[in-house]
């Protein structure tokens, strides 16, 4: 079964960094509610004001090596995905880059009612989106060393730990996943 059969349809679109929208919340307002939620502590934005989030994501939109996307579940905003060039952003000088590397962050909206397998379906969608670009050969991530929940999700989709690294804001667990590792981890699984 696919995630669309069991959990609905997941899609991804570029984040709209336009402040405010008539008749609805802006993407920045939606993301602000996610990154300031207590369950999102690893994003280090718990005290961020809406203006801070607007400024952060406007800077990402203007950056030549960093992009932000809104993930949709059945057409409704459900997760945030960031894609970056790790040789220019986040990991510059901190690891041995390989051709075709792409960096990724993702954040699932705090659920009203948790659904078993939902976050796994989200990270699978994120990885499929990244690997849809034929130039992407490997996805690299740098979650906080204490974020055991995301370590388990990463492992479930094929990531392998490279090593611990020191970033200015955290100790991170540098991990990588090739296209082949992702396919091996997710082929035949109930996704």
Q: What is the pLDDT of residue 38?
A: 85
Q: What is the pLDDT of residue 177?
A: 98
Please report, rounded to a whole number, the percentage of residues in the chain having pLDDT higher than 90.
Answer: 79
Please report, rounded to a whole number, the percentage of residues in the chain having pLDDT higher than 70.
Answer: 92
At 79-94, the pLDDT tens digits run: 999 999 999 999 999 9
3-state secondary structure the chain: CCHHHHCCCEEEEECCCCCCECCECCHHHHHHHHHCCHHHHHHCCCCCCHHHHHHHHHHHHHCCCEEEEEEEECCEEEEEEEEECCCCCCCCCCCCCCCCEEEEEEEECCCCCCCCCHHHHHHHHHHHHHHCCCCCCEEEECCECCCHHHHHHHHHCCCEEEEEEEECCEEEEEEEEEHHHHHHHHCCCCC
Q: Say how many domains are in the chain.
A: 1
Rounded to whole angstroms, the Cα distance separating 126 from 16 reads: 18
User: Would 19 be classed as within a structural domain?
Assistant: yes
User: Would 191 be classed as within a structural domain?
Assistant: no
Among residues 85, 106, 15, 103, the alpha carbon closest in space to that of 56 is found at 15
User: Would 173 be classed as within a structural domain?
Assistant: yes
User: Would 38 be classed as within a structural domain?
Assistant: yes
Rounded to whole angstroms, the Cα distance separating 141 from 161 reads: 9
User: Would 130 be classed as within a structural domain?
Assistant: yes
More confident position, 164 or 116: 164
Are 161 and 133 in contact by the 8 Å Cβ rule? The answer is no
Q: What is the pLDDT of residue 2?
A: 38
pLDDT at 126 over 60: yes
pLDDT at 96 over 90: yes
User: Would 154 be classed as within a structural domain?
Assistant: yes
Q: Which domain holds residue 130?
A: 3-186
At 17-64, the pLDDT tens digits run: 887 655 567 899 999 999 999 888 888 888 999 999 999 999 999 999
CATH of the domain at 37: 3.40.630.30
Q: What is the pLDDT of residue 90?
A: 92
């Amino acid at each position: 079964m696919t995630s669309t059969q069991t959990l609905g349809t997941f899609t991804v679109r570029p984040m709209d960094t336009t402040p405010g929208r008539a008749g609805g919340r802006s993407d920045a307002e939606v993301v602000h509610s996610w990154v300031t939620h207590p369950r999102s502590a690893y994003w280090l934005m718990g005290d961020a004001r809406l203006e801070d989030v607007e400024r952060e994501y406007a800077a990402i939109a203007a950056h030549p090596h960093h992009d932000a996307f809104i993930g949709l579940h059945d057409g409704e905003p459900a997760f945030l995905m960031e894609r970056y060039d790790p040789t220019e952003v986040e990991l510059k000088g901190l690891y041995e880059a390989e051709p075709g590397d792409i960096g990724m962050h993702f954040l699932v909206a705090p659920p009203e009612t948790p659904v078993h397998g939902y976050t796994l379906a989200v990270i699978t969608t994120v990885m499929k989106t990244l690997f849809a670009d034929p130039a992407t050969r490997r996805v690299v991530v740098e979650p906080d060393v204490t974020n055991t929940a995301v370590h388990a999700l990463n492992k479930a989709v094929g990531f392998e730990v490279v090593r611990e690294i020191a970033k200015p804001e955290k100790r991170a667990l540098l991990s990588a996943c090739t296209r082949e590792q992702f396919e091996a981890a997710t082929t035949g699984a109930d996704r």
